[in-house]
């Protein structure tokens, strides 16, 4: 887990689901590990590789409580029960994580979360 700052140890983390076989995930993982990201919520990042036993267990628990078809691809992020938008800003060289949007929905209607693998 990427450690929080300013007393955020007990904050619910943003869970970022990735997979080793997912080529777009490699850039996401690198940016997170290098702490080159910005988020609209102050929360620690929990980086979860779904191809590990622990990561698969966390994914299974998430899917048991998820809305139907909520997670269709990796990379994908979740915060407080809502899907977050992940976007790499190539110009700035950072990952933008948007978890709060209108009425708790961070993405526009019809926009897909994640990148199919």
Residue 107 has pLDDT above 50, yes or no: no
Using an 8 Å Cβ cutoff, are 49 and 82 in contact?
no
State pLDDT tens for residues 11-47.
899 999 999 999 999 999 999 999 999 999 999 999 9
Residue 109 has pLDDT above 50, yes or no: no
pTM of the model as a whole? 0.72
Percentage of residues of the chain with pLDDT beyond 90: 48
Across the range 36-65, mean pLDDT stands at: 88
Q: Can you name the CATH fold of 14-104?
A: Glutaredoxin (3.40.30)
Residue 90 has pLDDT above 70, yes or no: yes
24 Cβ neighbours under 8 A, 6+ residues apart = 75, 115, 117
C-alpha span between 99 and 105 (Å, rounded): 8
C-alpha span between 29 and 2 (Å, rounded): 11
Domain boundaries, the chain: 14-104
Tokens found for residue 57: 């267990």
């Amino acid at each position: 887990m990427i450690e929080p700052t300013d007393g955020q140890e007990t904050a619910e983390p943003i869970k970022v689901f990735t997979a080793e076989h997912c080529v777009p995930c490699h850039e996401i993982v690198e940016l997170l590990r290098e702490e080159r990201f910005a988020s609209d919520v102050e929360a620690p990042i929990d980086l979860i590789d779904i191809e590990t036993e622990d990561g698969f267990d966390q994914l299974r628990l998430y899917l048991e409580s998820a809305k139907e078809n909520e997670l269709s691809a990796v990379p994908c992020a979740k915060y407080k029960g809502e899907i977050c938008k992940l976007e790499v800003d190539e110009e700035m060289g950072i990952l933008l994580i948007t978890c709060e949007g209108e009425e708790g929905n961070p993405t526009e209607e019809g926009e897909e979360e994640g990148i199919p693998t």
